[in-house]
Structure 1
Amino acid sequence: MKVRAFFQAATVEDISPPYNSIHLKVFYPELEQNLSLVPAEAQASTFPVVILFNGINCGPEIYQWLAVRLAEFGLVVVTFSWIAENIPGFVAMTPGVDLSMLAPGIYGQGATASALPTLLRTLERLQVEGILAGLLDLDKIILGGHSAGGRVAIESADPGFCSQVVAAFAYGAHTAATVQLGYKAGTILPLPDSLPLLLIGGSCDGVIANSSHNYGVTWEQPTTPIIRTFQEAIAGDRDDSYLLILEGANHFSVTHPFDTTISRPVPDFPATQPEAELRDLIAQILGLFIDAHVRDQKTALEALNQMLVTQNPLIALFNRK
C-alpha cells in the first residue's frame, strides 16, 4: 500500500504568539499515484487515526518511518511540530505538556497533552473538507508517542477526557513523578487504566537511566520505571494492557534518522541490536496491537498473543494483563 501526506496548520487557543501555531503532517493510504494530492483509498470505509506525540526537541521527521509504516496498515497518522515555551525561558520542540495537570492534587483530573484539543479540532475540520473528508473514523483515535510525548499520550487516554480515544501506546515513557513538583521520591503516578495500552521500552535506555535524579531515586535498570508503570499504574485484568521490553534498544531506537545536531541534556546508551530490526519489530507489534484492540481482528489478536510466548532474541520481556 502506497502512502501520501499533506500539511496543515492550526492555532492553539490561549497561547500567545509566536508560540501558538502547530504544523501537522497527515499521512494516509493513497489510491492513485503521480499526483501532488490524491484521494485516499476509496474502497476503505473509514480510517482510525493515530496521533504521534514527539519527544522534547525531537522533530516529527524522525518519526516519519513509523508514520508511513502505520499508514501502510490502513491508518491515518498525524505527526506535528510545535515550538513553544512550556517552561519559562526554555524554548523547544514540544509534544505539548500541560504542567499544571501534573501537580499533586490535580493529576488525573484531565489530559496532560496540551496539544490534543487543537489536534482534535483540526481532525474534525479535515473530516468535512479536503481529500480525507468523510474518511476519518473519529470515534477510533489512538494516542501514541515517544519519551515525554509517550507519557502525555498514555496519561491522556481516558474516555472521560476525550470520548474518541480508544487506545494508547508509548515508547521510552513512564509515569514516575518529578520530585520538584512536590512528589515523594520514587512515586509512580496512576494511569487512566480504561483502554488498551502498550508500553514499549529498551534495555539500553540511557536517557531514562541517567535521569533518575529527577525522581529522587537511582533506577536499578534502565527499564525499571517502565516496568513499574506497567505493574503499579494500571490494574489490568482485561488482557489488553501490554509491556514490551526490547533487548538492546536505547531511548532513540524508535527514531530514524536520529538528529545529531540537537544536544541532549542526558546521554543515551548505544543500542546493541540492529536498529533496523528493532524498528521493524516495533512497527509490527504496534500494527498487531491496533488491529487486535481497535479493529477487533481475531487473527491479529491471535498473532499478538503468540508473540507473548515466542522466543525472539530482540524481546527481553513481553507481558500482558
Structure 2
Amino acid sequence: MTRAEVRSLWWAIRVPGNEAPYDTAHLRVYYPARRSGTDHERLTGTVPAVRAARRYPVAVVLSGVNVGQDSYRHLAVRLCQAGLVAVTCDFVSVLPDGAVATGPGIDVTAVVPGGYGEGATTPLPAALLKALSDIAAPESGTPLAGLLDLGRIAWGGHSAGGTLALQSAGFLPGTCAVFAYGAHTRAATMLGWPAGTYLDVRPGAPVLLAAGGRDGVIAASADRYGDSADGKAAEDPVARTFDEALPDGDGQHLLVVFPDAGHFALAHPLDPTSARSFLEDGAFDTAYHEAVADVVADFCAAHLADDPSARDRLYPSEKHGTYPNGARFRRR
C-alpha cells in the first residue's frame, strides 16, 4: 500500500464587508493523503485524500497580524497527523488604524461598546465556512469532495487571530473546540472601553488558552489597555481571560503556559521581516513550536476526533500541574 502523507489544496474567497482589493483571502486546506500512482496524479500533483471511517473534522487557524500562513504550516501538518483537516489563510485587509496588513480581519463595529456580543468580530470565518462547504460538495472535484464534517469544527488562532477566534466561535455553526496562543480578551481603550475591561466570551465549547511565560509582545502592548507605557503589563491578561472572561468549563477548559516561550512560539519558521518579533530582541526563538503544536493537536483530537489517548495526555486527574514537556496547566 502506498504511504500516507499530508497534502494541501489552494482556494480563494471573497470576504464580505471589505472593499476591493482588500476583500480576498487565499487559503490552504491540508488533508491526510495517499498517493495513487495514477496519470492524473502524476500530471497535476493532486493526491487523493485518505478515505477514513467517517468524514474529517476541521481545524481553522487564524493568523496573527502580519504573520503569513506558511508560519502555521507545521501546525496544520500536525493537525492532519491527528486525524483532522486543517485550514490556514492569508487575508490582507485594512486595520482599524488604517494600516494594511495580513491577519484575521476585524469588524470594528463588533468590538466597540454597544456592538460587542452581537456576532462574530471578524467576517473571515463565515467566508471560510462557505469555502469549506464548496470544497466538500460532492460535485466540487476536489480531493475532499464529500469528506468534511462541518458539524465538527475547531476555531483557533495566534495572537489577534486567537482573540478573534475566542470572540467569534460561539456565533459559528459546528463549533466543538476553540484554541488560542498568545491571545486574550482585554479590550483596547482606543475602541472606547474603560481601562482594565475584559470582554466576556461564550464559545459554547471547550477552550484551550496557551501562552509563553516570557511573552514580550503582550508586555510591550500594555498601554493599549490602559497600563503604563513602560513595557510592563500590570497583570497577566491571558490568565485573567481564562479565569474571568470564560464561563465555567466543567474541567474542559485548559490554560497551558510554556514558561520560557515567547509570543511567536507557535510560528515556525518565523519571518523576521514582518510583525513584531523584534520586541523580544531575538531572545526567544521558536524552539517550542513542536510542543505547542502537539498540545493544540491533542486538544482538537480529544474534542473533535474522540481520541482517548489525546484526552488522557491533556486531562490528567489533577486540576493543575505540569506536563512531561514542562508546560504548566490548569483546568476549569
2:20 partner amino acid = P
The whole-number CA distance in structure 1 between the counterparts of 2:136 and 2:154 is: 16
Alpha-carbon contact 1:248-1:271 (below 8 Å) kept: no
1:163 is matched with which residue? 173
CA contact (8 A) 2:220 2:232 kept: no
Residues in 1 aligned to 2:103 and 2:323: alpha-carbon distance in whole angstroms: 37
Q: Deviations over 1:240-263 (max 9, x none)?
A: 111011111001111011111125
> Matched residue of 2:279: which SS?
coil
Matched, 1:79 2:91: no
Identity of aligned residues (%): 38
**Counterpart code for 2:26:** H
Q: Distance in 1 between matches of 2:311 and 2:109?
A: 38
Matched, 1:134 2:142: no
Q: Answer yes or no: is the 8 Å Cα contact 1:241–1:320 preserved in 2.
A: yes
Q: In terms of mean alpha carbon deviation, does 243-252 or 5-14 score higher?
A: 5-14
* Residues 206 and 237 of structure 1: CA distance in aligned 2, closer, same or farther (over 3 Å): same
Q: Deviation digits for residues 165-217 of structure 1, max 9, x if unmatched?
A: 11110000000011111211111111114211000010111000010000002
TM-score by length of 1: 0.92
Cα distance per residue 1:224-248 (max 9 Å; x no partner): 0000000100132411111011111
Quote the offset at 1:222 in angstroms. 8.8
Give how far 1:314 is off: 3.0
Report the Cα distance in structure 2 between the residues aligned to 1:188 and 1:293, rounded to whole angstroms.
26
Taking a change above 3 Å as real, the CA distance of residues 262 and 178 of structure 1, as seen in their structure-2 partners, is same
Query: For the Cα contact (< 8 Å) 2:109–2:115, is it kept in 1?
Result: yes
Aligned to 1:296: 306
- Aligned match of 1:153 in 150, 160, 165? 165
More divergent stretch after superposition (284-293 vs 212-221): 212-221
1:212/1:65 CA distance change after superposition, 3 Å: same
1:196 pairs with one of 206, 211, 216: 206
TM-score by length of 2: 0.89
Q: Out of 12, 17, 22, which is 1:19 matched to?
A: 22
Shift of 1:50: 0.8
Question: What secondary structure is seen at the aligned counterpart in 2 of 1:137?
Answer: strand
91-100 vs 138-147, greater mean Cα deviation:
91-100
User: How far does the alpha carbon of each residue in 1:15-55 deviate from its partner, in whole angstroms, 9 at most, with x for none?
Assistant: 22111111111100002167411111023421111111000
Query: What does 1:240-279 align with in structure 2 at a 5 Å threshold?
Result: 240-262=252-274, 264=276, 267-268=279-280, 270-271=282-283, 275-276=286-287, 278-279=288-289
- Cα RMSD of the aligned pairs, angstroms, is 2.2
**Number of residue pairs matched by the alignment:** 316
Is 1:236 equivalent to 2:248 in the alignment? yes
Aligned-partner Cα distance in 2 for 1:193–1:69: 24
- Code of the residue aligned with 2:78 in structure 1: it is R
Give distance in 2, aligned partners of 1:223 and 1:133. Answer: 47
- 2-structure distance, mates of 1:8, 1:32: 21
- Residue 33 (structure 2) aligned to one of 14, 30, 33: 30
Q: Specify whether residues 299 and 126 from structure 1 end up closer, same or farther in structure 2 by C-alpha distance, changes over 3 A only.
A: same
2:280 aligns to what SS in structure 1?
coil
- 1:319 aligned partner, one-letter code: R
- Corresponding position: 1:110 with 2:124: no
Confirm or deny that 1:2 pairs with 2:14: no
Aligned with 1:299: secondary structure? Answer: helix
Q: What's the offset of the Cα at 1:313?
A: 6.2
- Unmatched 5+ stretches in structure 1: none
Distance 2:162 2:305 in 1: 22
2: distance between equivalents of 1:124 and 1:313?
Answer: 37
Moved more, 252-261 or 87-96: 87-96
Would the aligned equivalents of 1:250 and 1:270 in 2 still touch at CA under 8 Å? no
Taking structure 1 as reference, are residues 11 and 23 closer, same or farther at Cα in structure 2, changes over 3 Å only?
A: same
Corresponding residue SS for 1:89: coil
CA separation in 1, counterparts of 2:275 and 2:301? 37
Q: CA deviation at 1:318?
A: 0.6
Separation of aligned partners in 1, 2:294 and 2:326:
13
1:243–1:319 contact (8 Å) kept in structure 2: yes
Distance 1:72 1:33, change over 3 A: farther
